[in-house]
Amino acid sequence: MRITVSAALALALAAGVTQAASAVADAPPSTDGVWRMDGYGTVLALRDGRLQEYQTTAVSCLKGFAARRTSPGVYTTPDNVVLTVRTRHDRDRATVAFDGSAGHRQLKRIPALPDDCTRPAPSGPLAGFDVFWHSFAENYPFFAAKGIDWESMRTRYRAKVHPDTTRDELFAIFRDMVTPLYDAHVAVGDGDKYFAQVRPGTEMPTEELDAKVKKYIVRRDLAEAHHVRNFANGRITYADLPGGRGYLRISGFNGYAAEGAPHSAERAVLDEALDTVLTAQRAKRLKGLIIDLRINGGGSDLLGLRIAERLTDSPYVAYRKRARNDPADPTRFTRPEPIRVTPAPAPHYTGPIAVLTGGSTVSAGETFTQSLIDRPEGGVVRIGQPTQGVFSDIMGRVLPNGMGAVLPNEQYLTRAGDTFDGPGIPPHLKEPVFTEEEFDKKRDSAFDRALNVLR
């Protein structure tokens, strides 16, 4: 599941929920027991209709989220996150899937909870520091790519922590440690206080920025458009442009339904919007489609894939997903899982597409962009600026003192085995995106370039 940084942090601090894949078939009762996840530093205990997550490091085991069984093999958290666990042919192997995100996580049955999980949790500032440092050391895959020596961070900052270190002082230490990562999927929080940042030279896709840009686009770019309609609480806009072209703006892949609604409700709202926009008649007559993701704060990968399913007639692999799975070796990962696009049983648009992106295209906005790279029909041109460069599901970590953190631990691979983590997905055609000069001179260079490309 993809969500904005602030929402991710709130979720992680409230429940420690790490997010993964979509619901699958009902699981048999034999899933009861204790399971270690391949990667993710996680153990799951299932018994008596309850599921309890334990977040593990080399120095700790802390309780994370809890869920109750709502149907065979299906568990629901108090925040309506749905997990499905099912065994494989081998009763000691299973998979877990989380509602709203792509892929599955592999489980292996273990005899009992690790000893650390049965003892009182460590406490105090030093314990908090150690759990924080190990959580990143054992799960974060991008230290080398970002040129960060995490071992030296430990030496430098642990010396500043002592039994009388205050919460504010510890928060400041954690903030200073992660600042050089410039990773929009990394955040630190304590109650209402949190720290998160984006890549230098880019801007966080806030509600205020989205509202400003949407107003500008409607006034400038859609002045001569027809059938301008908003869907999904305003997160999706569609318009018919002159010359037989269409414009589809998506500001996020969540928030479509009522607050707290399950993924199934979000999916239903999206399907209704797509059925209204991509009718058989319109899909046939469109000469080109602009998909505007320049302000997109992320959300559910599965919703992005659901749109991709309306843009092809042939099945294909969108990307391959893997997670770091060796606490001592950041170069070792789980086996990559292909995430597929299967044409939906509904009208498809298979013509040319111009995708508008920028530094405020974040997370699920990026995985959707990546899902169109190998579209069998081709014809996809990216215009604007590189995306933010964060793709992984967000891992929530709770700390002994009640503070929390979120971090990424996965990679989304191209067909060639590369990732876009860090620099983001580059455009084919580079244009400025919502700069002050663009606003001052009433320009939208990326949109105008897309119109020319789709002539």
Least confident of 2-11, 50-59, 294-303: 2-11
At 75, the pLDDT band (50, 70, 90 cuts) reads very high
At 412, the pLDDT band (50, 70, 90 cuts) reads very high
pLDDT at residue 2, as a whole number: 43
pLDDT at residue 260, as a whole number: 86
pLDDT at residue 330, as a whole number: 94
pLDDT for residue 27 is more than 50: no
pLDDT at residue 20, as a whole number: 34
Query: Can you give the pTM of this predicted structure?
Result: 0.93
pLDDT for residue 6 is more than 60: no
pLDDT for residue 1 is more than 50: no
Q: Could you tell me the CA-to-CA distances from 14 to 3, 9, 19, 153 in Å, in that order?
A: 15, 8, 14, 27
d(Cα 306, Cα 236) in Å, to the nearest integer?
A: 14
pLDDT for residue 82 is more than 50: yes
At 104, the pLDDT band (50, 70, 90 cuts) reads very high
Structure tokens at 132: 């924080």
At 8, the pLDDT band (50, 70, 90 cuts) reads very low
* SS3 sequence of the chain: CCCCHHHHHHHHHHHCCCCCCCCCCCCCHHHCEEEEECCCCEEEEEECCEEEEEEEECCEEEEEEEEEEEECCEEECCCCCEEEEEECCCCCEEEEEECCCCCCEEEEEECCCCHHHHCCCCCCHHHHHHHHHHHHHHHCCCHHHHCCCHHHHHHHHHCCCCCCCCHHHHHHHHHHHHHHHCCCCCEEEECCEEEECCCCCCCCCCHHHHHHHHHHHHHHCCCCCEEEEEEHHHCEEEEEECCCEEEEEECCECCCCCCCCCHHHHHHHHHHHHHHHCCHHHHHHCCEEEEECCCECCECHHHHHHHHCCCCCCCEEEEEEEEECCCCCCCCECCCEEEEECCCCCCCCCCCEEEEECCCECCHHHHHHHHCCCCCCCCEEEEECCCCCCCCCEEEEECCCCCEEEEECEEEECCCCCCCCCCCCCCCEECCCCCHHHHHCCCCHHHHHHHHHCC
d(Cα 87, Cα 104) in Å, to the nearest integer?
A: 12
List, for residues 186-212, the tens digit of each pLDDT value: 999 999 999 999 999 999 999 999 999
Q: What percent of the chain has pLDDT over 70?
A: 94
Q: Could you tell me the CA-to-CA distances from 152 to 157, 171, 173 in Å, in that order?
A: 8, 19, 14
pLDDT at residue 188, as a whole number: 98
pLDDT at residue 252, as a whole number: 97
Q: What percent of the chain has pLDDT over 90?
A: 89
User: What residues contact 86, with CB distance under 8 A and at least 6 apart?
Assistant: 24, 25, 26, 27, 28, 31, 73, 94, 95
pLDDT at residue 90, as a whole number: 84
d(Cα 189, Cα 394) in Å, to the nearest integer?
A: 14
Q: Give me the mean pLDDT over the 378-394 stretch.
A: 97
Burial of 297 (0-12, 13-18, 19+ CB in 10 A): buried
pLDDT for residue 240 is more than 50: yes
pLDDT at residue 32, as a whole number: 93
Mean pLDDT value across the chain: 93
List, for residues 148-191, the tens digit of each pLDDT value: 999 999 999 999 999 999 999 999 999 999 999 999 999 999 99
Q: Give me the mean pLDDT over the 260-268 stretch.
A: 93
Residues belonging to the chain:
455
Residue 287 or residue 4, greater confidence: 287
pLDDT at residue 22, as a whole number: 34
Q: Give me the mean pLDDT over the 223-241 stretch.
A: 97
The sheet that has 245-250: what strands, in order across it? 226-231, 236-241, 245-250, 288-292, 353-357, 380-384, 429-430
pLDDT for residue 21 is more than 70: no
Q: Could you tell me the CA-to-CA distances from 83 to 149, 182, 440 in Å, in that order?
A: 35, 31, 48
List, for residues 337-376, the tens digit of each pLDDT value: 999 999 999 999 999 999 999 999 999 999 999 999 999 9
pLDDT at residue 13, as a whole number: 41
